[in-house]
Amino acid sequence: MFPLNSRIHKDERYEQLLELAHQIIDEEGTDALTLISLADKAGVTKPIPYRHFGNRKALLYTLFQDTLTKLAHNMETGIDQESNSLDDAIQVFAKTYMKCFAEHGKSCFAVIAALKAYPEYEMIDSELQSFFCQTLEASLSPFLPENSKIPTVTLMMIFGATCTVGGMFLNQLITKDEVVENVSRLIWKLIEP
């Protein structure tokens, strides 16, 4: 955690503001997140969040991108460190996605819903779907037979099913372990070489 109301480097302040913005959404929802409420929570003057993000819309999109960037980084690290086979890579993908979903799923969907209020972000779901499909393919392709590619429709089916099961988890209808098990089984069945 970063110290509040103290002089810190610009990059550290930026990270602090992102962390606090996620916290505001988790605790109070997206309606409570404004650049002014963020400044108050950080204990800084009001111009500081404006210098970093410009406006609320840019802040929301930055939060969306931040979540995706962290997921991709964690996925890449996990695959590199723990995967020696396609089965390992599928397990790492499912576990990493579920961990991110458990930590940020509710706030990420809240941010997406808030962004849809802006005309330029009405297709934000497509951006999320594209990110998921590209990340899944990049994670698994090193373990697939040479020159094989996962069909786009298969990637989209996995995305849809994973989001549905993740929603069941958020609504406490299924456990995290059940999500990982079912998502792993689904991926394996759909891409089985």
pLDDT digits (tens, 9 = 90+) for 117-158: 999 998 999 998 999 899 889 889 889 988 888 999 999 999
Rounded CA-CA distance 155/110 in Å is 24
Quick one: pLDDT at residue 67?
Answer: 86
Rounded CA-CA distance 44/47 in Å is 8
Quick one: pLDDT at residue 6?
Answer: 56
For residue 9, is pLDDT > 80?
Answer: no
pLDDT digits (tens, 9 = 90+) for 80-123: 787 788 998 899 889 888 888 788 878 888 999 999 999 999 89
Mean pLDDT estimate for the chain: 88
Q: What is the pTM of this model?
A: 0.80
For residue 2, is pLDDT > 90?
Answer: no
Is pLDDT larger for residue 172 or for residue 102? 172
pLDDT band at 193 (very low <50, low <70, confident <90, very high): low
Rounded CA-CA distance 127/116 in Å is 12
